[in-house]
Amino acid sequence: MPQDAAHIDHNKLNAFIGQMLSDLGGAASIALVRMGDALGLYKTLQAEGPMTAIELAAAAQVDKRYLREWLSHQAASNYLTYDPASGKFSLSPEQAMVFAIPESPVYLMGGFDLMAAMVDNQAKVQAAFKSGGGVAWGEQAGCMFCAVARFFRPGYHNHLVSTWLPSLDGVVEKLQAGAKVADIGCGHGWSTVLMAAAFPKSQFIGYDFHPGSIEAAQAHAREHNLTNVRFQVGTAKDYPETDLDFVTFFDCLHDMGDPAGAAAHVKQSLKTDGTWMIVEPMAGDRLEDNLNPIGRIYYAASTMVCVPTSLAQEVGTALGAQAGEAKLRDVISAGGFGNIRRATETPFNMVLEARA
Ligand SMILES: C[S@@+](CC[C@H](N)C(=O)[O-])C[C@H]1O[C@@H](n2cnc3c(N)ncnc32)[C@H](O)[C@@H]1O
């Protein structure tokens, strides 16, 4: 039945339209932000300081008419700062942290790559809604793998060695002395390489079932000239390593078809006093706990990437990216781990420690 106009609360309607305009503005920015990244526009502005459109066009070697329109969009989006008096555009220190400084903890370019890959995935996931089947990780559209690696890298770069590992009981001491470590579902291997560089006396092996990701990880390790890390294709349930001191899963347990089976395999691959670190997206246990900006992005990624990935595998548990600690604990303890605790957290991730 059509809504009676008399029942419309115009204040609520206006507020909602305001939200929609902001959302559409964000969605419309995906391609523009990625072009700014690919063409080096943010980096040039960051390096050179305030510039007019003509100055930036010359410095970045792009067409000045296109650039003027792009700059106008960026200023209207509050992604760049415009000074009408001088006609110059600049990146504030805060804008630079998001768009131009890959080492910053809030560098979000990978997020824009991820949004583009999710849009590309629509046809495959839409068909899966009808069939109930999955979309295998290796079949996802665009370079989902590159986008995911880039999205998570700032968190690992800024937290893994400095806070996440020290939050675990006795692990840093073992890594300093020389430990045997496996990083499972390692993707492009950023986490593995960070740990290998920080702990040269330990030996690291990264496993992932996606051959393309393992090739990228191997290339990445070569760039860092590390001799204590290697990468191999393998699943979470069949990697051959045993007597491990430490096993890590970064943002991948919920993607697996059989996370409880993976947990059991981790258990038998560890020494009796070994530790399993599980990094998972931050989430509360109930839907109503996750109705916030971070939950919103993770539920979208979960629908478009994580659930299809899990449903394409055996068992197809499909925990989803917002599983929450209680469901994760169930899966981890099903694998035989009796001691599980939340060791630390960031706004994007929770870090769980599991021991036998
Ligand atoms: C969201 S990505 C995270 C990648 C990487 N750990 C990171 O944080 O950048 C999930 C990864 O899990 C891998 N994966 C999913 N199911 C797997 C399984 N059953 N065995 C091994 N790897 C798996 C995927 O290939 C993918 O690289």
Mean pLDDT value of segment 164-188: 98
Predicted local distance difference test score (pLDDT) of residue 142:
82
Whether the model clears a pTM of 0.85, i.e. scores above it, the answer is yes
Predicted local distance difference test score (pLDDT) of residue 275:
98
CB 235 near ligand 1, within 6 Å = yes
pLDDT interval class at 141 (50, 70, 90): confident
Measured in angstroms, how far is the CA atom of residue 117 from the centroid of ligand 1? 16
- Among 252, 326, 239, residue whose Cα is nearest residue 284: 326
CA atoms within 13 A on the CB side of 16: 6
Average pLDDT, the chain: 96
Q: Could you count the other beta carbons within 10 Å of the beta carbon of residue 323?
A: 23
Predicted local distance difference test score (pLDDT) of residue 217:
97
Q: What is the share, in percent, of the chain residues with pLDDT greater than 70?
A: 99
Q: Could you count the other beta carbons within 10 Å of the beta carbon of residue 53?
A: 19
- Among 222, 228, 229, residue whose Cα is nearest residue 207: 229
Compute the distance between CA of residue 205 and CA of residue 193 in angstroms, rounded to an integer: 10
| Atom of ligand 1 lying closest to residue 256 CA | 16
In tens, the pLDDT along 331-350 reads 999 999 999 999 999 988 99
In tens, the pLDDT along 178-221 reads 999 999 999 999 999 999 999 999 999 999 999 999 999 999 99
| Atom of ligand 1 lying closest to residue 310 CA | 16
Q: What is the share, in percent, of the chain residues with pLDDT greater than 90?
A: 96
Predicted local distance difference test score (pLDDT) of residue 4:
67
| Atom of ligand 1 lying closest to residue 250 CA | 6
Q: Whose CA is nearest to atom 20 of ligand 1?
A: 235
Whether 129 shows a pLDDT value over 90: the answer reads yes
In tens, the pLDDT along 78-117 reads 999 999 999 999 999 999 999 999 999 999 999 999 999 9
| Atom of ligand 1 lying closest to residue 213 CA | 27
Predicted local distance difference test score (pLDDT) of residue 34:
98
CB 213 near ligand 1, within 6 Å = yes
Measured in angstroms, how far is the CA atom of residue 67 from the centroid of ligand 1? 38
Predicted local distance difference test score (pLDDT) of residue 2:
54
Predicted local distance difference test score (pLDDT) of residue 74:
98
CB 137 near ligand 1, within 6 Å = yes
